[in-house]
Amino acid sequence: MKVFISADIEGVAGVVSPAQGQPGNTEYERARRLMTEEVNAAIAGAFDGGATSVLVNDSHGPQTNLLPDVLDPRAELLLGRPKPAGMCAGLDAGFDAVFFTGYHSGAGQHGVLSHTINGFAFAGIRVNGIDCAEATLYGAYAGSIGVPVALLSGDDCLMAQCSPLFAGAQNVVVKHAIGQRAARALSPARACQAIKDGAALALRGLSACHPFVIASPMVLEIDFTSVALADLAALIPVAKRLSPRSVSLDAASMTDALGWINILSAASASLR
C-alpha cells in the first residue's frame, strides 16, 4: 500500500505566527522541527496501518523545511521548488492514499494563518464556485487521478471548511483557533500521537474513503488583494476581468487550474 504525504507548516501544533514559517529566525527553526515530528508521526502511523512505502512532499514556502536527517528513514522525501503539481508533486495514480499534515483553512476564512497558496496575492480562490483552501485544491487534484484523501491534520477551522469534502477521512485537530494568529494547541507529543493514531486508522478504514472530484471543465476565479495584481493577471490573453480585483480563467483539469494559480503566485512577486 503506497501512501503520499503532503506536509505544510501553518497547521502544525505550536505554530501561530508568520515568522514561524519564514526561514532565517529561531522561531522558524523550532517550527520546522515540529513540522518534521508531525510528519514522522504520520509516517509511523502509515506503516502501522499497513503501508509498504511512503513518499513525503515538503509543501510549505520554499519547500525545503523538513529535516532530512531527522525524517523517518523508511520514507522518501521530495524537496525544493518549483516542481510539477506543487504541493502534490510526486503523486500519481499508483498511490492508495493521500495524507495532508499541517494544513490550514483558506483565504478569507477564520483559522490560524489562513490563506490559499499566497497570502500576499490571493484574497480568495474558487473553482466551479467552490471556495478553496489548499486542501480543497490539492484534494481535488488527488481525486482527479483517483486517489482519496485519507488523513487531514490542522486546526478546527480547517476541518470545518474541508472535512466535508473528504468522505471517510480521519480528521486530526491539533489546535483550536482563537484568532488568525492565536490558538489553543495540544502539546507536540500529544499532537504527534493523535496523528500517528489517525494515520493508522485511516489506512485500516481506507475502503470508506472516496476521492473528492470537481467536475471538468472548470472555471477558476481568483480574487486578488490589490487592483494592481488583478491588472497583472488580466494581461494573460485568456483571462476575463470580473471586477477591479478579480479575474477568471477556464481550465480543462485540476492540473491546468493549479498551473494558473502557481504561475500567478510566482508572477505576483514582481509587484511586492
The band of 188, judged by pLDDT with boundaries at 50, 70 and 90, is very high
Q: State the catalytic residues.
A: 115
Same-domain status, 33 and 85: yes
Looking only at the bridges linking them, the beta strands covering 53-58 and 2-7 are parallel
- Whether 124 is covered by a domain: the verdict is no
Averaged pLDDT, 61-79: 98
Does 162 lie in the same domain as 104? yes
- Structurally, the chain folds into a number of domains equal to 2
Could you tell me if residue 174 is inside a domain?
A: yes
Tell me, yes or no, whether 178 and 267 share the same domain.
no
Please, where are the H alpha helices in 17-155? Answer: 26-48, 134-144
Q: What is the pTM of this model?
A: 0.97
Q: Is residue 129 part of a domain?
A: no
Output b/e per residue, 99-119; b: 16+ Cβ within 10 A: bbbbbbbbbebebbbbbbbbe
**pLDDT computed for residue 242 by the predictor:** 98
198 and 70 within one domain: yes
The residue range of the domain holding 10 is: 2-117+134-208
Residue 168 placed within a domain: yes
- Residue 122 domain flag: no
Find, among 186, 212, 209, 143, the residue nearest to 38 by Cα. 186
Residues 56 and 188 in one domain: yes
- Does some domain include residue 266? yes
Q: What integer is the mean pLDDT of 35-57?
A: 98
**Looking at 174, 190, 208, which one is the last position of a domain?**
208
In a domain, 249, yes or no: yes
Count of alpha carbons within 13 angstroms of residue 36, beta-carbon side: 19
Same domain, 89 and 177: yes
pLDDT above 70 as % of the chain:
100
For 124-165, write each residue's pLDDT tens digit: 999 999 999 999 999 999 999 999 999 999 999 999 999 999
Residues 256 and 159 occupy one common structural domain? no
Domain boundary among 208, 235, 263: 208
Q: Cell numbers of 50, please?
A: 499497513
- The verdict on residue 126 lying in a domain is no
Are residues 72 and 180 both part of a single domain? yes
One domain, residues 95 and 230: no
Per-residue confidence (pLDDT) for residue 118, from 0 to 100 = 98
Q: Are 177 and 183 in contact (CB under 8 A)?
A: yes
Is 91 found in the same domain as 27? yes
Question: Last residue of a domain, which of 168, 188, 208?
Answer: 208
To the nearest whole percent, how much of the chain has pLDDT over 90?
100
Considering the domain architecture, whether residues 177 and 141 belong to the same structural domain is answered as yes
CA-angle at 125, arms to 66 and 128, nearest 5°: 120
Reduce the DSSP state of residue 86 to 3 states and report it: helix
CATH number at residue 199: 3.40.50.10780
Dist CA 50 CA 30 (whole Å): 31
Both 138 and 227 in a single domain?
A: no
